[in-house]
Amino acid sequence: MEVTAHHRLFGGDLKFVRHEAASTGTSMALSVFVPDGEGPHPVLVWLSGLTCTANNFTEKAGAYKRAAELGLMIVAPDTSPRGDGVANDEGYDLGQGAGFYVDATEAPWAAHFQMESYVTKDVLSLIAEHFPADMTRVGISGHSMGGHGALTLAMNHPHHFKSMSAFAPIASPLNCPWGQKALTAYLGEDRTAWQRHDAAALIAQGRASGFDDILIDQGLGDQFLETQLKPHLLEQAASGAGQKITVRRHAGYDHSYYFITSFIDDHLAFHAERLKG
């Protein structure tokens, strides 16, 4: 692990890190905020959306003052493998910057695009080894594609994650153009392989039963709301499964980090309550 930059803020430490990842076979970047104190600290993993890097949340979300007050570590990995020899696509919604937090099985993506394993194995192992983290108290959140990843990884790996939330998540990749394009490329045409990467489908199957609540924030001025995100599918699935979910809709807010920074403190408090209670 190499620390490429280190900044002191709000009594804690923000480190930009690069490491060699076994899952992706590439060098990967992430940021880690460690609040003041000896720890071990509860951890929130943040997953970013399409076209983002490990820096978007770190530089734009305005999360660290409240995280410091709550004693919460925040880990923000990149959205995909990158570099020479890593497959890519001309579209912004596939390839580098668009890993969709799945383990690809199809060529040419399978060689490096193993983002589910990267987050749940490489990232968590790195944090456990090098930082004062309490790995029995880990939550996960994210935005858009990262919101999809946060929800599906939490439900597929409940032994790792104790709380989950999302901003404007892709609720059902089976039922939107972004998801259909990415999952076809990464996993193939057989839609049965897509089921475990669809948050609405997982909730309908009862896979969120170990979580007392799921917090979702959605802007009503979001240009992707009707065509790509479809949060009502999460509510329908939760109603059928008897699962509590809190979907908050906000008039005028769009898909940008202006939306995220407006409500990030609520999500930090949501996770802290569950990880520290």
- Residues with active-site annotation: 144, 222, 255
Asked if 159 contacts 167 with a C-beta cutoff of 8 angstroms, the reply is no
Residue for token digits 């409240």? Answer: 66
Residues 6+ apart with CB under 8 A from 60: 257, 260, 261
d(CA 83, CA 267) in angstroms, rounded, equals 33
φ and ψ at residue 222, rounded to 5 degrees: -75, 125
Q: For residue 168, which of 264, 273, 88 has the smallest C-alpha distance?
A: 264
Strands 41-47 and 133-142: parallel
Asked if 98 contacts 92 with a C-beta cutoff of 8 angstroms, the reply is yes
Residues 6+ apart with CB under 8 A from 273: none
d(CA 239, CA 204) in angstroms, rounded, equals 8
Which regions of the chain does DSSP assign to beta strands (E)? 2-9, 12-21, 26-34, 41-47, 73-77, 133-142, 163-167, 215-219, 246-250
Asked if 203 contacts 256 with a C-beta cutoff of 8 angstroms, the reply is no
